[in-house]
Amino acid sequence: MPRFLGTLAAFMAFIAVPSLAVADAVNPTDSLLPYPQTRRDALVETIFGEDVADPYRWLEEDVRNAPEVADWVERQNAVTHRYLEHLPQRDWFEGRIREMLNYERFGLPEKAGRRYFYERNSGLLNQSQLFMRKGLSGKPQLLLDPNSWAKDGATALDSWKPSVKGRYLLYSVQEGGSDWRTLRVLDVKKGETLEDEIQWAKFTDLAWIADEGFLYSRFPEPKQDEVFHGLSYNQAVYFHRLGTAQSEDELVFATPDRPEANHTAEVTRDGRRVIITSSIGTDARYEVHVIDLSGAGSSQGAWTTQPLVTGFEHDWKLVEGLGSTLWFVTNNGAPRYRLVSIDLENEDSAWAEIIAEGTDILREARIIGNQLVASFLHDASSRALIFDLNGKSVRTLSLNGIGTASGFKGRPGDPETFYSYTSFNRPTSIYRMDMESGESQPFATPSLAFEPGEFDVTQRFFTSKDGTKVPMFIVRNKAAAEAGKALPTLLYGYGGFDVALTPVFSSSRMAWLEAGGAFALANLRGGGEYGKEWHDAGRLANKQNVFDDFIAAGEFLISEGITPKAGLGVQGGSNGGLLVGAVVNQRPDLFAAGNAAVGVMDMLRFDRFTAGRYWVDDYGDPGQEDDFRVLRSYSPYHNIRSGQDYPAILVTTADTDDRVVPGHSFKYGAALQAAQIGPKPHLIRIETRAGHGSGKPTDKAIEEGADILAFLAQWTGLKTPE
């Protein structure tokens, strides 16, 4: 918890603002919108000698338990939806996004025994269904249909894992976008769901031990009023034996002396060992423990763990275990990662380097058949290389241009692997690669509602404020690019938590492109595009570099004639929502419009809710004075500049987001509306029964996408086709 100095001025004086009725219709060009009345409290804290006002703290309360907050949400949505539904281009965007999404989509197959499991969406289903085939050419059998689980489609199939031979399927259910998961088990042969049910799982892997049972991670059951807002501590790994109650589950691994630590479990493909990976935040710094199932395990009711890596200093990603050997991808001694192995049964064994650090980032690897498939990142685009088990290069997997290849699922001895490929102008296709020949054949490729060749995907490098070269992908109509035409442009960024943004397809972005706009994705510092140094350069005291990079990206797009000065829109979600809020405060003159989605907007209190305590690795601790000074300098909620003309801003969030609690967006939206920042609209759109993003039904995603694009189009000058 942050350490506050001074006294809290806790009086709650009600300060009225002019009451503005909701009009029957709202003209999108109106200079003054009828914002709802928002209570403003005289709440001030003295933090490290500085008085910090927090007039909208009451909006942090959980909407499910706070009638006044629920009323505020309803009134804000009434104004916002009245405005959005009168935007002249909204219907076009909704129709085109729906058309773009109406194609058959497949997920990566996973093989277990002779069975292949995979997800499929016929087009506009709210949730993808899970199918199984016996053999590649077998008849598809529907196993799970999440669309029947809730009338509004907001109950989702989150993740799933077949047992080794495919007899059972363990799967997790996500309700209304929450991070909490319920685990259930399907008897695949009978098509029946077992009575086994696990509650309070969160941030968990799914790991089978034969057909006997499975490992999972959970937190203690929270108090009723802390389910969606309370901090989570004391995560532990448990073993659940099929056919028993959760109350009988065996504790496998926990650290009661370190309640802040998280733990997940994996089982090696040969079933011999459990690998426990522990973390203490969002940084990729782990400890690793090993359980030998051949000597002690669930059958004896004993779980003996041996430490393999201690100290929370480096990243350790399990590749595989075979016999006594384990393989890991690590940044220990290699900021851009390398692949190493160790023999657990040789007391004198040291880590052996199999694939050395190179110029590209080694992201992950798998042992499939008798070869290593390694995925690399080169200037934020994918490369896949095949090695033998000694690290000798065998071949390079040829990809179709700038894009993202991922997946490569399989196990030692398998004759095949499956992977996906996507780019800004290419929806995801699934390929099967023969491991012996190296040849790839399509497993599932989509029928397209547009012509990919009409759109140009390029990568440019721009110079940030301190001289750093930063990459950016730019996508636009090829004819417009060749003609040098400036187009209304949507600039997207994230810049944090070691996350690399790579080329992926989005139906909403394609609709923007078809309407005549351009799209740009900036690979800002703070992300994972170039390893540890790139990440470190954009976090903690260096966070301002991220904002400088994004501002420089916008200036580059204008100076290069890619977008007109009044045609630049910005968008970002979560940490990217923080990004949008910060850069709009710092350079309101640069942008015409912005969408800050599910953002972290109050940088002085983020660590008090749900998963927020983990984020101190990237942001710093508000309770430490040096960190507080940095956070206070850019916190979107605290740095809105009255007297400046701001761009049009649409804040988007969900009332049940328990990752970045909606109070962040509620407070920021209220502060925008109260400030004197010009005539353009500053609205908040609040989705119901939706969380941070995952599991969102297709219908809700289409409606939200249409609202956002219509708003951005209105204020960047983008005109949709007649």
Q: What is the pLDDT of residues 106-158, one digit of tens each?
A: 999 999 999 999 999 999 999 999 999 999 999 999 999 999 999 888 899 99
Residue 709 pLDDT exceeds 60: yes
Q: Which of 283, 284, 331, 325 is nearest to 308 (CA)?
A: 325
Residue 12 pLDDT exceeds 60: no
CATH architecture, domain 63-98+455-716 = 3-Layer(aba) Sandwich (3.40)
Rounded mean pLDDT of 473-501?
Answer: 97
Give the model's confidence band at 301: pLDDT under 50 very low, under 70 low, under 90 confident, else very high: low
Contact 231, 278 (CB under 8 A): no
* Region for residue 634 given its phi and psi (left: phi exceeds 0; alpha: psi -120 to 50; beta: otherwise): alpha
Rounded mean pLDDT of 685-707?
Answer: 86
Model confidence pLDDT, tens digit, residues 32-47: 688 999 999 999 999 9
Contact 189, 134 (CB under 8 A): no
Rounded mean pLDDT of 61-72?
Answer: 94
Please tell me which residue, 12 or 575, carries the higher pLDDT value: 575
Q: Phi, psi at residue 561, to the nearest 5°?
A: 75, 20
Q: Phi, psi at residue 314, to the nearest 5°?
A: -140, 170
Q: Phi, psi at residue 85, to the nearest 5°?
A: -70, -15
Lowest mean pLDDT across 423-427, 529-533, 689-693: 689-693
CA distance 446 to 132: 20
Residue 188 pLDDT exceeds 70: yes
CA distance 179 to 201: 9
> How are beta strands 568-573 and 115-121 bridged, if at all?
unpaired
Residue 444 pLDDT exceeds 90: yes
Rounded mean pLDDT of 352-360?
Answer: 97
Q: Tell me if residue 261 falls in helix, strand or coil.
A: coil
Q: DSSP letters of 573-620? A: ETHHHHHHHHHHHH-TTT-SEEEEES----TTTGGGSGGGGGGHHHH-
DSSP3 helix / strand / coil % (the chain, rounded to 5):
20, 35, 45
Quickly count: other Cβ atoms within 10 Å of residue 24's Cβ.
6
Q: Encoding tokens for residue 668?
A: 């920021």
Model confidence pLDDT, tens digit, residues 153-187: 889 999 999 999 999 999 999 998 888 999 999 99
Rounded mean pLDDT of 675-696?
Answer: 87
Percent share of the chain, pLDDT over 70: 94
Residue 689 pLDDT exceeds 90: no
Residue 520 pLDDT exceeds 60: yes
Per-residue pLDDT, 439: 92
Q: Which of 499, 508, 646 is nearest to 575 (CA)?
A: 499
CA distance 599 to 577: 4
Give the model's confidence band at 64: pLDDT under 50 very low, under 70 low, under 90 confident, else very high: confident
Domain residue limits, the chain: 63-98+455-716, 103-347, 359-440
Q: What is the pTM of this model?
A: 0.92
Per-residue pLDDT, 449: 82
Q: Phi, psi at residue 300, to the nearest 5°?
A: -100, -5
Contact 446, 104 (CB under 8 A): yes
Residue 10 pLDDT exceeds 60: no
Per-residue pLDDT, 691: 66
589: exposed, middle or buried (C-beta count within 10 Å: 0-12, 13-18, 19+)? Answer: exposed
* Region for residue 214 given its phi and psi (left: phi exceeds 0; alpha: psi -120 to 50; beta: otherwise): beta
Residue 700 pLDDT exceeds 50: yes
CA distance 510 to 520: 12
Per-residue pLDDT, 669: 98
> In 398-500, where do the E strands start and end?
404-409, 416-423, 426-434, 440-444, 455-463, 469-477, 489-492
CA distance 43 to 55: 5
Q: Which of 228, 229, 151 is nearest to 697 (CA)?
A: 151
Q: Encoding tokens for residue 536?
A: 């470190």
Q: Which fold has domain 103-347?
A: Methylamine Dehydrogenase; Chain H (2.130.10)
Contact 524, 549 (CB under 8 A): yes
Per-residue pLDDT, 239: 98
Give the model's confidence band at 7: pLDDT under 50 very low, under 70 low, under 90 confident, else very high: very low
CA distance 641 to 279: 38
CA distance 717 to 487: 9
Mean pLDDT of the chain: 92
Lowest mean pLDDT across 2-16, 204-218, 691-705: 2-16
Per-residue pLDDT, 17: 27
Give CB contacts under 8 A, 24+ apart, made by 448-451.
Answer: 448/103, 449/99, 449/100, 449/102, 449/103, 450/100, 450/510, 450/514
Per-residue pLDDT, 501: 97
With tokens 């290699």, the residue in question is 334
> How are beta strands 489-492 and 518-522 bridged, if at all?
parallel
Residue 297 pLDDT exceeds 60: no
Residue 431 pLDDT exceeds 80: yes
Rounded mean pLDDT of 445-455?
Answer: 89
Q: Look up residue 333 and give its amino acid.
A: G
Rounded mean pLDDT of 296-300?
Answer: 47
Residues annotated as catalytic (active site), given as ranges = 574, 692
Q: DSSP letters of 136-198? A: TTSPPEEEE-GGGS-TTS-EEEEEEEE-TTSSEEEEEEEETT-S-EEEEEEETTTTEEEEEEE
Rounded mean pLDDT of 43-58?
Answer: 98
Contact 165, 113 (CB under 8 A): yes
Strand ranges of the sheet holding 404-409, from the earlier edge strand across to the other edge: 404-409, 416-423, 426-434, 440-444
Give the model's confidence band at 443: pLDDT under 50 very low, under 70 low, under 90 confident, else very high: very high
Q: DSSP letters of 346-366? A: -TT---EEEE---SSEEEEEE
Q: Phi, psi at residue 237, to the nearest 5°?
A: -100, 135
CA distance 369 to 403: 26
Per-residue pLDDT, 191: 94
Residues 6+ apart with CB under 8 A from 322: 268, 269, 270, 367, 412
CA distance 698 to 126: 4
CA distance 619 to 547: 13
Contact 626, 659 (CB under 8 A): no
Give the model's confidence band at 226: pLDDT under 50 very low, under 70 low, under 90 confident, else very high: confident
Per-residue pLDDT, 295: 62
Model confidence pLDDT, tens digit, residues 74-112: 999 999 999 999 999 999 999 999 999 999 999 999 999
Q: Encoding tokens for residue 248?
A: 């009988």
Give the CA-trace dihedral at 225, 229, 231, 237, to 10 degrees.
Answer: 80
Element (H, E) at 701: helix 698-716
Residue 539 pLDDT exceeds 70: yes
Per-residue pLDDT, 3: 28
Measure Cα distances from 274 to 171, 397, 470 in Å.
20, 31, 41
DSSP 23: P
Write b or e for each residue in 648-679: b if 16 or more Cβ atoms lie within 10 A of its Cβ, otherwise e.
Answer: bbbbbbbbbbbbbbbbbbbbbbbbbbbeebbe
Residue 388 pLDDT exceeds 70: yes
Name 426's bridge partners.
Answer: 423
Q: Which of 7, 14, 97, 122 is nearest to 515 (CA)?
A: 97
Residue 370 pLDDT exceeds 70: yes
Model confidence pLDDT, tens digit, residues 256-269: 999 999 999 999 99
Please tell me which residue, 658 or 14, carries the higher pLDDT value: 658
Model confidence pLDDT, tens digit, residues 546-567: 999 999 999 999 999 999 999 9
Per-residue pLDDT, 29: 52
> How are beta strands 352-355 and 518-522 bridged, if at all?
unpaired
Residue 414 pLDDT exceeds 60: yes
Element (H, E) at 18: none
Rounded mean pLDDT of 467-480?
Answer: 97
Strand ranges of the sheet holding 593-597, from the earlier edge strand across to the other edge: 455-463, 469-477, 518-522, 489-492, 568-573, 593-597, 648-654, 682-687
